[in-house]
Amino acid sequence: MTFGWCGQFLRVNLTSGDLRTEQLPPDEIKDYIGARGLATYLYGREVPAEVEPCSAENALIFATSPLTGTLLPNGGHYSVVTRAVPCASLSCANLGGSWGPQLKYAGFDAIVVQGKSSKPVYLWISDGTTELRDAEHLWGKNVRECNDVLRAETDKAAHVCCIGPAGENRLGMAAMVGDSAFASGVEGVAAVAGDKNLKAIVVRGTKGIRLARAAEFLEITQRLRNRSAATLLRAKGSRLQGPVLLVTSVAEDTEALSGDGVRPRNCFGCTAAFSSFTDELTGETIARFRKESLPQVNAAQLREQSAFVDLGLDPVSAKVFLTPFKHDKKQDEVELAGKLARGGFGDKTEAESNPGRVGHSGCVVGGYVLVPSIVAAGPGNDSGPDASLLAAAESAGCCPFAATLMKAPEIASLLSAATGMYYSPEDVLRAGRRISAAGGK
């Protein structure tokens, strides 16, 4: 019996259509923590060096951590790693939502996708049963519609991680989208999925995750939970245009978005859901967790962001790309985005020529966070989060935006209590250094 881990991963060969479950011994992957670290390790093990992004030899790796799907605050995250830019370091996308936890409840720690399919397919995983299905009818569909169709075809309670038209057209600024709302558009990861003709991965699981030392684990998570509610977060970098709310999705019904009190929808395990940033007179931007009152959201801004995500585009880099094409201020940006996603701007948007946005943690959780970096407010926190600590927290399955709340000793004791293997704070930092050096950002 393994604790925290499921102990196996799924190998998918799209060329032959072969699906195989393989063992993943926890002691072998201990040094890589999980998620981003695990995916980086598996990539190095499975793929020869100097492989072309758009070749059958390239692999697309989805990986969760031993803490994904547990009570870790802000801890439902998973990573997608591949080589999307030739001769550069690996690309790593970090996603939230329920897809990662669901993959573990289905009994898999990771998925290694190899080869290239001759026609569009999607992968359906249900409690250890796996199947590649035809996705011809889904090709060209937007993210939300794709989610609806796939849930109707498989299971109402299933979770979907898919690409939109932008990914199909192999755009560098395309995003992987989990649960129709949580997008991560870094460095063309979604373009590689599009190149492999893999439209979506649908998962449903009913198994549980057990931990080695539960009482100890719960005590630490409760402490982190209380701290995340009490800590003020500070946004660094460019000044904000009005208040920004850390939300991940809003109602699709545009009528509901008018007026006040737009309802946010959040990631699995999120404790920062009701935080909002306000630009204060001092120039510092402070976020406060607001338990008692729902902060207001700029409905028009959110509607626009949702439209980008629905097309499978990373809103931030797509907007930068579209700026020179917006001759008329009244020209509809969403309409332009539609043209962009469907390949209307030609070859120069392809993954190889446009590596997309490389920003803080490379993650757009839902696309509504407009701040480049978040740190805990207070003296001694002037620099942004340390790259190796951030890589370690991300590898432990923590949201990059909330990773700043955790320090190495806490990550180490959480991992030790969950897996039953001993991690020292130095182990965690060493792993973090190794992972951030391997690239992905």
Partner 1 sequence: MEVLLITPEKCTNCQACELACSFAHEEEFNPVRSRVSVMIWDHQAHSVPIMCLQCEEAACLAACPAKAISEDPLTGARLVNNTKCIKCRMCMNVCPFGCTSYDTTGRKIMKCDLCDGDPQCAKVCPSGAITCVDRTSVNVSRRIQAALKLKAIMWGTL
CB of 157: closest distance to partner 1 in angstroms? 9
User: Which of these segments, 86-94, 289-297, 336-344, 425-433, binds partner 1 (CB under 8 A)?
Assistant: 289-297
Per-residue contact track with partner 1, 384 to 413, x per CB under 8 A?
------------------------------
CB 184 within 8 A of CB 360: no
- Measure the CA–CA gap between 173 and 93, rounded to whole angstroms: 12
Cα first-last separation, the chain: 34
Contact pick of 256, 320, 358, 437 for partner 1 (by CB under 8 A): 256
Based on the shown chain and the rule CB under 8 A, indicate whether residue 98 belongs to the binding site for partner 1. yes
Which residue, 180 or 305, has its beta carbon nearer to partner 1? Answer: 180
CB of 211: closest distance to partner 1 in angstroms? 8
Which residue, 269 or 440, has its beta carbon nearer to partner 1? Answer: 269
Task: Say which residue the tokens 């209380």 belong to.
Answer: 226
Structure token digits, residue 231: 């800590």
CB of 322: closest distance to partner 1 in angstroms? 26
Give, as ranges, the residues between 144 and 173 that touch partner 1 (CB under 8 A).
Answer: 144, 147
User: Which of these segments, 200-208, 319-327, 328-336, 427-435, binds partner 1 (CB under 8 A)?
Assistant: 200-208
CB of 263: closest distance to partner 1 in angstroms? 5
Contact pick of 27, 50, 280, 292 for partner 1 (by CB under 8 A): 292
Based on the shown chain and the rule CB under 8 A, indicate whether residue 305 belongs to the binding site for partner 1. no
Based on the shown chain and the rule CB under 8 A, indicate whether residue 273 belongs to the binding site for partner 1. yes
Largest CA distance in the chain: 62
Which residue, 2 or 317, has its beta carbon nearer to partner 1? Answer: 2
- Measure the CA–CA gap between 165 and 341, rounded to whole angstroms: 6
- Measure the CA–CA gap between 52 and 87, rounded to whole angstroms: 8
Contact pick of 260, 281, 282, 291 for partner 1 (by CB under 8 A): 291
Contact pick of 79, 82, 271, 395 for partner 1 (by CB under 8 A): 271
3-state class (DSSP) for residue 227: helix
Based on the shown chain and the rule CB under 8 A, indicate whether residue 231 belongs to the binding site for partner 1. no
Phi, psi angle pair for 289, to nearest 5°: -75, 120
Contact pick of 20, 45, 137, 207 for partner 1 (by CB under 8 A): 207
CB of 31: closest distance to partner 1 in angstroms? 24
Task: Say which residue the tokens 């560098």 belong to.
Answer: 172
Q: CB-based contacts of 195: which residues, under 8 Å, 6+ apart?
A: 53, 54, 116, 170, 351
Q: In sequence order, what DSSP letters do the residues of 85-154 get, joined into one string? A: STTSPEEEEEE-SSHHHHHHHTT-SEEEEES--SS-EEEEEETTEEEEEE-GGGTT--HHHHHHHHHHHS
